[in-house]
Amino acid sequence: MTSTSVARPPRLSPGARVALVCPSGAVLERDDFTRASDLVRALGLSPVQMPNADRRFGYLAGTDDERLEDFQRAIGDESVAAVWAVRGGFGTTRILKRIDFSPLRTQPKVLLGFSDITTILLKAYADIGLVTFHGPVSRNGLTSFAREHLERVLFDPTPAGKLTQPRPPAGVLVPREPRVVPLIPGVAEGPLVGGNLTLLQCLIGTGSLPSFEGAILFLEETAEDLYRVDRMFAHLRDAGLLSGLAGVAIGLFTDMRKGAEGGTRSFEEVLREYLEPLGVPAARGFPIGHVDDQWTLPIGARARLDANAGTLTLLEGGVA
């Protein structure tokens, strides 16, 4: 992070204007925009769909210029309090270097999304020290669990404290999921940094990554082969990003495929191979990623990871 201090956007208050943007993949169903706007209203906020959001350019939500124009206009609009991605997909890496985050220095806004939006969240934090928010996209209906954590983090400046876990399935005595599994025991504190593993790896060497020194790294992924996950962790290790971490919180790697190269290795074996040499607390299974019941995490805010208990506690508020 190049900024010497962390900036927090103002808390969201009733009636606040929320810009709905599509900096990545195209939205194919018109009802996705309707649901996104309805969701914003259901939270007591006011939706503003950006003019190019419903454009299509192949698998992208418009040309690079159109997607960049919408995002740049949204962060520069003084009447907008939050910028919320309608979906992820692919496309942010094509425009990331051209985004000018400087308007957020004088008027910070909530930036919210996950998956492909990881690049925007991390670069904004790296460039100007803005706390950004890894959480649901707006076309997905919020479960009561996801809503509770989103509102705790975005509507209240006080620290959210210990985050809760989704309820286990009814009638199951010892469920496999949801379940946090300790990997390396211990307790760590530090600023939260992370997001989607593939997108984080894409930023290596671009100058768009914040410092990981002393941070609690959180990661999630979906629909990847285990051997590719292995390869990405090797890249992070060899690029030096895993050195100096305070702790590691592994989210959910949904729909993971073993693939022809996966053999009989388990995900936990791969994780332990890369994380145990670090000697820092680590656990896996947190509700972070491509699931309905997910946390909203403030990137840049301090947190405490208790790997033994399988808990993550927010020590600082993400908004002012």
Delimit the domains of the chain by residue range: 17-154, 178-314
Amino acid, res. 103? P
CATH for 17-154, among 3.40.50.10740, 1.10.10.10, 3.20.20.100, 3.40.50.300?
3.40.50.10740
pLDDT in tens, 224-254: 999 999 999 999 999 999 999 999 999 999 9
pLDDT of residue 22: 98
pLDDT of residue 2: 36
**Residue 175 pLDDT grade (very low, low, confident, very high; cuts 50, 70, 90):** confident
pTM higher than 0.85, yes or no?
yes
CA distance 224 to 32: 25
Q: How many CB atoms are located within 10 Å of the residue 274 CB?
A: 18
Residue 1 pLDDT > 80: no
Cβ–Cβ under 8 Å, residues 181 and 283: yes
**Residue 261 pLDDT grade (very low, low, confident, very high; cuts 50, 70, 90):** low
Decide: helix, strand or coil at residue 222: strand
> Which range among 3-17, 124-138, 171-185 has the greatest average pLDDT?
124-138
Cβ–Cβ under 8 Å, residues 47 and 18: yes
Class of domain 178-314 as given by CATH: alpha beta
For residue 239, CA distances in Å to 127, 257, 273, 289, 306 come to: 20, 25, 16, 24, 26
Percentage, residues of the chain above pLDDT 90: 92
**Residue 5 pLDDT grade (very low, low, confident, very high; cuts 50, 70, 90):** confident
Q: Helix 226-238 vs helix 267-275: angle between axes, to the nearest 10 degrees?
A: 10
Catalytic residues, by residue number, are 115, 220, 290
pLDDT of residue 149: 98
Residue 37 pLDDT > 50: yes
pLDDT of residue 258: 76
What residues contact residue 188 under an 8 Å CB cut-off, 6+ apart?
Answer: 216, 246, 247, 280, 281, 304, 305, 307
Give the DSSP H or E segment for 269. Answer: helix 267-275
Q: 53-62 in b/e burial notation, b at 16+ Cβ within 10 A?
A: bbbeeeebbb
